Chains A and B, each alone.
Chain A
């Protein structure tokens, strides 16, 4: 693979590793509550009323957790989508496709910083 990303593979893999570990750990309660329990009425909606959500998210730990559950899964996602495309015969295209996928994760991570800062 005379690959433009060869020298960055260790960093990409580290980000992917954190993404799959902490992304999974942080997204599980997010999906449970924000994705399912509140919309289904199992948990009252005022648990995440604007005032309360804003209060939680404004705390430095809240901001860090939110950054983690936005940015880290993007690296897991980009990396695994890249591997899926290779597995389905896209090895030759990887040199062009992989940078685009990781650019997507990078843009998402930068936007995650902006999103948590502007709360």
Chain B
């Protein structure tokens, strides 16, 4: 009794201090920059802001960003499900090596993830000559952007699903098999519904990163305006041109994307905590 009493009387002071400190840090490091983005974007008025967004280069950057994400995210969703299924359901040699490989993009600088494609497919790269001979362009083209994005974002879905699938075990799938279901039926009626929210969560994070990726795509892009600049690259190009309103207007789109992702992510964590992997259950 005494200890709880002590704790109760002391905790509020400490707690209030800690909360205040956290709020101060959050304001300084997160809210202030976020505010600046929108403030600077609108500093010359709404008309100028809208004009920057309607600029053909900006529109093509948005389209390219959406296209790259639309290709990279499904690829990684499929890869993530396959990898998680492999790791969670089977024992095989090199399982730990595979797990480490899946994590590699997290621990490696995105610049390297871009550079490897240049080294492979660039004009001076291993397959460069062959590609030139056959008229295929990878580097400084959409293909390169997709490859770089896929490499950088591939851990997200797999990382989200592996702990959940390991936790759930294979009993339900085995039960479905004994009840006469085939592999496809089992996958679509048992496996997928059991991981759907975690998959969505992983896809959400993967998508946010795919659209926001800068380092890796920067290396393979070549910054050809209206052709190979994604939204983050577009921000850089404009910023280097001293077009601050344009840069911040484009940045505000990215920031909005971040906010939407955050809201969806929180909603998922709140509504479907039980169906996300253990690490995500708050």
A, B from the same assembly:
no
**B contact set with A: CB distance below 8 Å:** none
**A contact set with B: CB distance below 8 Å:** none
